[in-house]
Amino acid sequence: MTASTTETILEPDLPIIDPHHHLWDLRAMVPMFPEPQHDFIAAIAGAAHYTFDQLHADISSGHNVIGTVFMECGAFYNAAASEAMKPVGEVEFVNGVAAQSASGLYGPLQACAAIIGHADLTLGSQVGAVLDALSAAGNGRFKGIRHQGAWDADLTVLGPPFHAPEGLYNSDAFRDGFAEFAKRGLSFDAWVLEPQLADVLALAKAYPDQKIILDHCGTPLNIASYQGTLPENFDRWRGSITTLAECENVSVKLGGLAMAFCGMPEDGPAKGANSSELATMWQPYIDHCISAFGTKRAMFESNYPVDRWGATYPVLWNAFKRITADYSDDEKTALYSGNAARSYDIEHLLG
């Protein structure tokens, strides 16, 4: 065990709602990942099967996590359903996990108190039936969808499991479905890569009343053909974030930087980076996101188990807490629990 897994927990009483984690079984998907991500897959091999037991073990490692938000990841789809309805199976599964957590047998944690599912918005107006089915499957916990649009001309950046069509968010088919989705008062999580941030900006401007949450600080890239380019692309990223933050309907998740895509640290778990080292790497990105969006439109996320690449669960949250050490109590409450509770309509978790 490295020193990075045995750190003293900072601010152990600070309530946290983790607004972004997954549950999955990736064992059959591993061969689909490209060569640049093989080290990443090896790093999360212990999390290739990551359901409630593994999540609960991570969350029970010291920080005061009172609730979580599940984020869609293409897991546990219903193989017997039509292609459009397959994602309903994921929400059905996660709702069961939420009920398991809510039983009280595992302590006060409210895991998956909010569920973000997936619906293919390129179905246009027909996506309404899928959204209705997702809502029914969530039993009150379904709060929105993510239809990720991550794309890059370098196919090795993402690999087949993640690669969306180029320009997805600007396509007519997607916009038709988004218009149907926007009638329902749900949240929309957007995942794109840093060079694509203009696509989220265009979507936010086209639908100014729709709540949009940008994942992973906009995903700066340090993998494949982007490796080593973080410094030269920082100003472009910063400008895109600043402009996007001018849209009052957009919030940002502070995290995801430990993914292999972002490469902070570049050599992942082999580095054994402690929370001080991680905070130094992440602070320029997190500081600017908070500066641009303010403390009322930003929220810290674990993105677990993907961010296991760069940090254990306790070390990840320690790094965040180092970055916000000088923030006021009210600012910390907003960033660590309040904004997530409001964004995903789970304010009852705050008491």
* Predicted pLDDT at 48: 76
Alpha-carbon gap, residue 183 to 121, rounded angstroms: 13
* Predicted pLDDT at 4: 46
**Alpha-carbon distances, residue 324 vs 253, 288, 337 (angstroms):** 15, 13, 14
Q: What is the pLDDT of residues 45-76, one digit of tens each?
A: 456 789 999 999 999 999 999 999 999 999 99
Instruction: Please give the angle made by the CA atoms of 95, 97 and 103, to the nearest 5 degrees.
Output: 105
**Alpha-carbon distances, residue 189 vs 20, 107, 179, 264, 321 (angstroms):** 10, 29, 15, 23, 24
User: Beta-carbon neighbour count of residue 172 at 10 Å?
Assistant: 9
* Predicted pLDDT at 156: 86
Structure token pair of residue 101:
């957590």
Q: What is the pTM of this model?
A: 0.95
Alpha-carbon gap, residue 137 to 11, rounded angstroms: 37
> Domain residue spans in the chain?
3-350
* Predicted pLDDT at 270: 63
* Predicted pLDDT at 173: 97
Sign of CA dihedral 183, 186, 192, 194: positive
Query: Domain 3-350 carries which CATH code?
Result: 3.20.20.140
Q: What is the mean pLDDT of the chain?
A: 92
Low-confidence ranges of the chain (pLDDT < 50): 1-4, 45
Alpha-carbon gap, residue 194 to 62, rounded angstroms: 33
Question: What 3 state SS string does the chain have?
Answer: CCHHHCCCCCCCCCEEEEEEECCEECCCCHHHCCHHHHHHHHHCHHHCEECHHHHHHHHCCCCEEEEEEEECCCCCCCCCCCCCCCCHHHHHHHHHHHHHHHCCECECCEEEEEEEECCCHHHHHHHHHHHHHHHHHHCCCEEEEECCCCCCCCCCCCCCCCCCCCCHHHCHHHHHHHHHHHHHCCEEEECCCHHHHHHHHHHHHHCCCCCEEECHHHCCCCCHHHCCCHHHHHHHHHHHHHHHHCCCCEEEEECCCCCCCCCCCCCHHHCCCCHHHHHHHHHHHHHHHHHHHCCCCEEECCCECHHHHCCCHHHHHHHHHHHCCCCCHHHHHHHHHHHHHHHCCCHHHHC
* Predicted pLDDT at 33: 56
